[in-house]
C-alpha cells in the first residue's frame, strides 16, 4: 500500500494520519496504510470490549491483577496502561526509525480526576513510564494548562486535547511558549482541535432550542473553527503541531488535508472508508465556507462565536463549555464501563 490514500496525502501534502482507539489488529493495519501515530482516550479500554480477542486480554489482565490491587480505580488505571503499552510496542519501531519524529502513542488519565492539576500530573508521570514514545494527553482547562506546563518543565511530550475554541488553543500555546523559554525544554507538543464532537454539541443545542440551522450550514461549524485555528497557529508561529481530532464525518479529515498537521481518525468507519474510496489528494485546508454561513452561525449559535473568536472564552470557562463537557462525559461513561467490569470480575473471583 505504498501508494495508498494516506501515503499519498502525506507525500503530496505533508498531512499525516494517526489512528484513534484501535484494536491491536487495527493498529497493525493502520501502520501498513500509512499511520504515523496513535491516539487513545479514557474510553479506550471500553472500546476493546467490542473485539473478542482484545476483550479476552482485558479480562485476563483484570483477573491477574485483582488479588494484588484492592482499589478498583487504581486497578483501572493500571489496566489502561497495560492496554496502551501494547500500542506503544507496536509503534516503537517507527519511533526509533524516525529519531523520535513519528510513532507517538497518547494516553489520557482518569476523567473523574481532571479538576485537580496535581492528579493530572501524577497520572501523567505514571503513564509516561509506559514507554519513550508515550505522549501524555491532557485537556485544556485551568488545571490541565497547569499540568501541561509542569510536564514541559520535565521535558515530557504532551498533547493538549478537548480544544474546542481558538481561545483554548491560544492559552495552551502561550503557556507552553512561556514555560519552554523559562526552562529551556522543547518536548514534542501537539494541539488537538476536536472537530466532530464540537459539531455534536452544536447539534444538541440546535435540537434543545429548536433552532432553524440547515445541515449544510452546521456541517461547517467545527471545520471552520479548525481551519481558523490552524491559520492562527501558523500566523503566530506557535510551538507544536496541530492535530485534527474527534472526527465524525469524512470531511473532518479531507477538509484539513493540505496543512502541515496531523489528523487522528477511527480505523473502522473513517480510515477504512477513505482507503476504499481512494480520493484524489486535494489541498482543502484554505477552503473556507461562504461568509454568509459564518455570519449565520455567529448570529444564531452563540456557542459557535465562543469557539470561533480568539477572545470567545476565558480559561475559567473552558471546563464547562458544552463541547468539552460532552466529550468528558463520554470518557466518564467509558471509564465507568471498565470500573463495572472490574467490579464484576472481582465478585466472580471471590
In angstroms, rounded to a whole number, what is the distance separating the alpha carbons of residues 70 and 346?
9
Whether domain 5-348 has CATH 3.20.20.70: yes
Helix axes 24-33, 72-97, angle to 10 degrees: 20
Residue-wise pLDDT tens digits, 264-307: 999 999 999 999 999 999 999 999 999 999 999 999 999 999 99
In angstroms, rounded to a whole number, what is the distance separating the alpha carbons of residues 112 and 72?
13
Domain boundaries, the chain: 5-348
pLDDT of residue 35: 98
Tell me the average pLDDT across 172-184. 98
Q: How confident is the model at residue 1 (pLDDT cuts 50, 70, 90)?
A: low
Residue-wise pLDDT tens digits, 193-236: 999 999 999 999 999 999 999 989 999 999 999 999 999 999 99
pLDDT of residue 349: 87
Q: Is the pLDDT of residue 344 over 80?
A: yes
Tell me the average pLDDT across 155-159. 98
Lookup: cell for 274: 477513505
Helix/strand number for the chain, H first, E second: 17, 8
Q: What are phi and psi of 234, to 5 degrees?
A: -70, -45
Q: Is the pLDDT of residue 126 over 90?
A: yes
Tell me the average pLDDT across 48-70. 97
Q: Is the pLDDT of residue 80 over 70?
A: yes
In angstroms, rounded to a whole number, what is the distance separating the alpha carbons of residues 72 and 346?
9
Residues in the chain: 350
Q: Is the pLDDT of residue 261 over 90?
A: yes
DSSP output for 97-162 = HTTSSS-EEEE---GGGTT-HHHHHHHHHHHHTT-TTEEEEEESSHHHHHHHHHHHHTT--EEEEE
Mean of the per-residue pLDDT values for the chain?
97
pLDDT of residue 328: 97
- The percentage of residues in the chain with a pLDDT greater than 70, rounded to a whole number, is 100
Residue-wise pLDDT tens digits, 330-339: 999 999 999 9
Amino acid at each position: 500500500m505504498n501508494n495508498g490514500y494516506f501515503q499519498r496525502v502525506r507525500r503530496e501534502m505533508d498531512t499525516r494520519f494517526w489512528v484513534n482507539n484501535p484494536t491491536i489488529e487495527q493498529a497493525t493495519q493502520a501502520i501498513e496504510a500509512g499511520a504515523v501515530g496513535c491516539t487513545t482516550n479514557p474510553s479506550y479500554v471500553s472500546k476493546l470490549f467490542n473485539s473478542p480477542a482484545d476483550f479476552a486480554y482485558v479480562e485476563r489482565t483484570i483477573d491477574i491483577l485483582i488479588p494484588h490491587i484492592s482499589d478498583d480505580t487504581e486497578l483501572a488505571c493500571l489496566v489502561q496502561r497495560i492496554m496502551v503499552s501494547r500500542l506503544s510496542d507496536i509503534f516503537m519501531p517507527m519511533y526509533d526509525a524516525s529519531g523520535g519524529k513519528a510513532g507517538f502513542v497518547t494516553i489520557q488519565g482518569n476523567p473523574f480526576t481532571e479538576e485537580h492539576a496535581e492528579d493530572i500530573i501524577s497520572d501523567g508521570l505514571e503513564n509516561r513510564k509506559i514507554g519513550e514514545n508515550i505522549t501524555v494527553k491532557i485537556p485544556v482547562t485551568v488545571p490541565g494548562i497547569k499540568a501541561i506546563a509542569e510536564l514541559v518543565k520535565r521535558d515530557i511530550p504532551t498533547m493538549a486535547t478537548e480544544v474546542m475554541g481558538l481561545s483554548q488553543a491560544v492559552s495552551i500555546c502561550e503557556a507552553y511558549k512561556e514555560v519552554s523559554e523559562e526552562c529551556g525544554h522543547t518536548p514534542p507538543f501537539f494541539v488537538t482541535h476536536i472537530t466532530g464532537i464540537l459539531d455534536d454539541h452544536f447539534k444538541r443545542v440546535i435540537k434543545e432550542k429548536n433552532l432553524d440551522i440547515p445541515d449544510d450550514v452546521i456541517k461547517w461549524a467545527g471545520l471552520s473553527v479548525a481551519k481558523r485555528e490552524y491559520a492562527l497557529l501558523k500566523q503566530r508561529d506557535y510551538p507544536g503541531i496541530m492535530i485534527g481530532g474527534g472526527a465524525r464525518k469524512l470531511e473532518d479529515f479531507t477538509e484539513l488535508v493540505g496543512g502541515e498537521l496531523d489528523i487522528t481518525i477511527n480505523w473502522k468507519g473513517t480510515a477504512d472508508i477513505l482507503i476504499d474510496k481512494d480520493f484524489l489528494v486535494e489541498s482543502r485546508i484554505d477552503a473556507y465556507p461562504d461568509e454568509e454561513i459564518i455570519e449565520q452561525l455567529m448570529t444564531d449559535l452563540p456557542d459557535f462565536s465562543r469557539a470561533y473568536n480568539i477572545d470567545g472564552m476565558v480559561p475559567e470557562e473552558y471546563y464547562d463549555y458544552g463541547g468539552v463537557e460532552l466529550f468528558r462525559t463520554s470518557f466518564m461513561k467509558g471509564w465507568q464501563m471498565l470500573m463495572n467490569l472490574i467490579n464484576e470480575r472481582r465478585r466472580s473471583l471471590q
